[in-house]
Structure 1
Amino acid sequence: MNEHAVHPAVQASPTAATPMAGGRAGSRTVLLVGNYRPSVSVVRSLGRAGYRVIVGRDEFSSAAEYSRWAAETWTHPSLRQDGEGFVRAIADFLRRRPDVGFLFPVLGLAIIRVCEHRHLLPEDVVVVTPDPALVAMCDHKTRLLELAAELGVPQPGRAVVRDLPALEAAVRQTGYPCIVKPAVAELRLYGEKGVICRSAQEFRGRFPTWPEGHESLLVQRYVKGLRHNLHFAAKDGRLLRCLDAVSLRTMRPDGTGLTVEGISVELPLDMRRYCERMIAAMRYTGIGCLQFLRDEASGEAVFLEVNPRLAAGYAISQHCGLDLPQLALDLARGAPVPELAGPFTYPAGQRFAWFAGDLEGLKEALLHREIGLGAAARWLGTAVRSALRADMHLTWSREDPRPALVLYGRMLRRSRRR
């Protein structure tokens, strides 16, 4: 057992700004950067609560800037090209705009960049992220898996490798099917969060050489089962709120990738206990998403990862009454969050859909010849049924339709070009 099980897993970062009672003189203006799918829900949540939201964007955009609740749009340098330049641009903007009291990064990479260069930011701006040291820990999956092992939280077997011979040996030892992942959460492996290998032939086809841009890779036994996304808020290691949403389908034929259909379910007791154990060991303050798989073979809850941010399918939580963006601001500025007499309750059985993601996944599967026309027709039928019976949609809203309409327009233009 190492220090994680005995002492706090995360030491407070010396560059972390001290939480303030309300930002710059009680400002209620928020600069949102790292514009991706949950950004639409964040803008809607904070706008309804009376915050003035400035939406930052670069060449990538979730169309949150088209929301009726977006007060301004600010174009910033690409965070994917130059992390320090991205944060310096934010710092310059904040110095020019003393009315902005909060900086809220949404995309995982934006959170990492802001935490890496937090010392560049004005000290009187409340940065809405967990502690930088905690963010760094969550970005390295091996550290989280080590912590989970020390705390008795079940997980697949794992091996960390740094070259092709070690990768080949680890795959042979793990057996098939197995999954190979980046050891760093925000990296992608051939465009995916993980590559499933079901045979030696499939492995050799995917990994003829060591993939560029990766110092290390993680090899694990592939666990088949539904993914549970535990959306939570915590303070000083105490779990304050938690909601479980199960991913029923994703935008990839093999079940990897982003969720396109899901449902809220009652939080299983074993997952709640494991979540509480890890949050306590990390002394977590902030919002996040902790993921498990329910192993079809054994019925065991298997730990996957902790994301120190809003998950891509977060909007179902907001629909069910768990408003994490407002909680994130309160926790970051040190405001009191009411304690509940018992566990947070919410309606189970609420379905959500992401129709645009369904169509995008279908298009990509056809382009890469992963499915035939018959399977494509079945996929389309399933997507339509899912959209019609959903209780809520991840981007579409009748009272705020423009973001979704803009996204559909972009998808149509890309399809025409291709």
Structure 2
Amino acid sequence: MGTREINLLLSVAGDLPDRIRLIAPRSDLWFRCLDKSQMSGLVDSLGIPSAPLLPVSGNGAVKDAVESLGWPCVIKPVSEQTSICGEKALILRDPEGLQGFLNDASGSPEPLLVQKYFMGRRHNLYFLAEHGRIVDVEETRVDRTDRRNGTGLGVAGRRIQASPEWVSHLRKLVSSLDYHGMGCFQFLESEQTGEGCFLEVNARLGANYGHLQKSGADLLERWIEQASLNESRNEGRPETVRSLKYAWTYGELRSIERRWSDGSAGLGETAHDLWKMVESGLKADVHLDGSWRDPRPAWVLYRRYFASLLKRLYRKGRPVPKVSAHARPTQSALPR
């Protein structure tokens, strides 16, 4: 369930009959987590590592912020509820990229955030909290996403042992927010230096949580139990966990097709991406597309996708009939 759907549910929560219990984050907590500028200030005050971030409005302020932070940098909307040029974030690496963005956004009064770029792999800490106290936490490392620049949705990754350092940072944030319920805390970690950087926290599950559920994690069941009985079990998870790989083949296939269609990837690059997709699928312990026990949903998903793909390819390859400038219209084409 995404941001739009949760917004809708929270807007009607007070009108639901008593027999229906809505399992969702508190409204104030939900909207506070959506505000990236406010969350950045809180994270800084708690001493959680994060990249410098500046709120801006207008092209002049964007240029000043970029010059202050240096290259490369990230431009993103203030709230997760909006996008920027159809993306969650844009990475600008040089003045040409900045000028292209300014040309596209010319005259837009929307407030934005400019942040120093941090290179690293994305990690998700899925957690269950009870009145500001962590009950349990699981960590997932995202190895590849559906965007070349590392933004977007994870298409390949694995479950790993939760980082004690970042769990400690998470505890501080959860306590400060008096967090109650389930959430997803994201950070980046540099493969070269091991340093980390806070990314964001969402008061909902991420798209790749399904592989934790399939691998035996019971955070979701405990969240439902917490909401139903106003309490949760106190058993923690084992000290060590097995590293389970996951793959979201459908999401990666669509991203490969998109890059091929818009010309951002050539034949060789597309072939390499397809091979990586197949390799990840073969090595994965868990497939987010579906289950071998019930393959019908995945079968319907792929059948619709390939039927649509064939239609698009047919339209793209069909020659456009040429009409002579001197040709007279047929009787059926004449206005009546």
The answer (yes or no) to whether the contact 1:285–1:331 under 8 Å persists in 2 is no
Map of 2:300 onto structure 1: 406
Deviation at 1:209, TM superposition (A): 4.3
CA shift in 2, pair 1:161/1:365, >3 Å: same
Alignment identity in percent? 33
Partner of 1:395: 289
Equivalent-residue separation in structure 2 for 1:180 and 1:401 (angstroms): 40
Q: Which has the higher helix share?
A: 2
Are the structure 2 counterparts of residues 414 and 131 from structure 1 closer, same or farther at C-alpha, using a change threshold of 3 Å?
same
Following the alignment from structure 1 to structure 2, what is the Cα–Cα distance between the partners of residues 391 and 222? 32
Choose between structure 1 and 2 for higher RCO, CA contacts under 8 A separated by at least 6 residues. 1
Shift of 1:401: 1.5
Q: Match for residue 222 of structure 2? A: 327
Distance 1:143 1:214 in 2: 20
Q: Which among 149, 174, 188 is matched to residue 279 of structure 1?
A: 174
| Conservation of the 8 A alpha-carbon contact between 1:252 and 1:365 | no
Rate the CA distance shift 1:235–1:344 in 2: closer, same or farther, 3 A.
farther
SS of equivalent residue, structure 1 residue 229:
strand
Name which one, 1 or 2, has greater alpha-carbon Rg.
Answer: 2
* Cα distance between partner residues in 1 of 2:109 and 2:214: 38
Q: Which residue of 1 aligns with 2:84?
A: 189
With over 3 angstroms needed to count, the CA separation of the structure-2 counterparts of 1:318 and 1:346, relative to structure 1, is: farther
In structure 2, the residue matched to 1:118 is: 13
Q: Take 1:346 and 1:214, find their aligned partners in 2: how far apart are those partners?
A: 49
In the TM superposition, residue 404 of structure 1 has moved relative to its aligned partner by 1.4
Alignment correspondent of 1:62: none
Deviation at 1:361?
Answer: 0.8
1:287-325 per-residue CA deviation (whole Å, 9 max, x = no partner) reads 111000013454222111111111010012112322333
**Secondary structure at the residue paired with 1:126?**
coil
Q: Which residue pairs with 2:209 in the alignment?
A: 314
- For 1:127, the equivalent position in structure 2 comes to 22
Match of 2:310 in 1: 416
For residue 73 of structure 2, what is the aligned residue in structure 1?
A: 178
Q: Per-residue deviation at 1:336?
A: 2.6
* Structure 1 contact 233–288 (Cα < 8 Å) conserved: yes
Contact preservation (8 Å) 2:157, 2:245: yes
Cα shift readout 1:18-70 (whole Å, capped 9, x = no counterpart) = xxxxxxxxxxxxxxxxxxxxxxxxxxxxxxxxxxxxxxxxxxxxxxxxxxxxx
Cα distance change, pair 178–215 in 1 and its aligned pair in 2 (3 A): same
- Aligned twin of 2:265: 371
Structure 1 residue 170: Cα displacement: 1.0
In the aligned structure 1, how far is the partner of 2:195 from the partner of 2:84? 27
Tell me the equivalent position of 1:163: 58
Q: 1:107: which partner in 2? A: 2
- Matched-pair contact (CA < 8 Å) for 2:222–2:233: no
SS of the residue corresponding to residue 201 of structure 1 reads helix
Further displaced range: 139-148 or 407-416 = 407-416
Q: Distance in 1 between matches of 2:88 and 2:301?
A: 23
1:202 counterpart = 2:97:
yes
Distance (Å, rounded) in 2 between the aligned partners of 1:211 and 1:184 = 20
The 2-side partners of 1:369 and 1:346 are apart by 44
Q: How far did residue 112 of structure 1 move?
A: 1.9
| Aligned positions of 1:223-372 closer than 5 A | 223-296=118-191, 298-340=193-235, 344-345=238-239, 347-372=241-266
> How many pairs were matched up?
312
| 8 Å Cα contact 1:130/1:308 also seen in 2 | yes
Q: Is the 8 A contact 1:112 1:136 kept in 2?
A: no
CA apart distance, 1:205: 1.3
Structure 1 residue 203 displacement after superposition: 1.6
> Aligned to 1:136, which of 31, 35, 49?
31
Superimposed CA distance per residue, residues 219-263 of structure 1 (whole angstroms, 9 cap, x where no aligned partner): 111111110011111111111111111000111122221111001
CA contact (8 A) 1:231 1:289 kept: yes
CA gap 1:403/1:324 in 2 versus in 1, 3 angstroms? farther
Deviation at 1:212, TM superposition (A): 8.5
- Which amino acid in the other structure matches residue 230 of structure 1? L
| Residue 129 (structure 1) shift | 0.6
- Structure 2, unmatched stretches of 5+, are 313-336
Paired with 2:218 and 2:258, the residues of 1 have a C-alpha distance of: 33
**TM-score (norm: length of structure 2):** 0.88
2:269 is equivalent to residue 381 of structure 1: no
Query: Per the alignment, do residues 169 and 392 of structure 1 end up closer, same or farther by CA in structure 2, a change over 3 Å counting?
Result: same
Offset of 1:132 from its aligned partner? Answer: 0.4
Contact 2:58 2:108 in 1 (8 A): no
Amino acid at match of 1:367: S
Aligned-residue offset at 1:269: 1.2
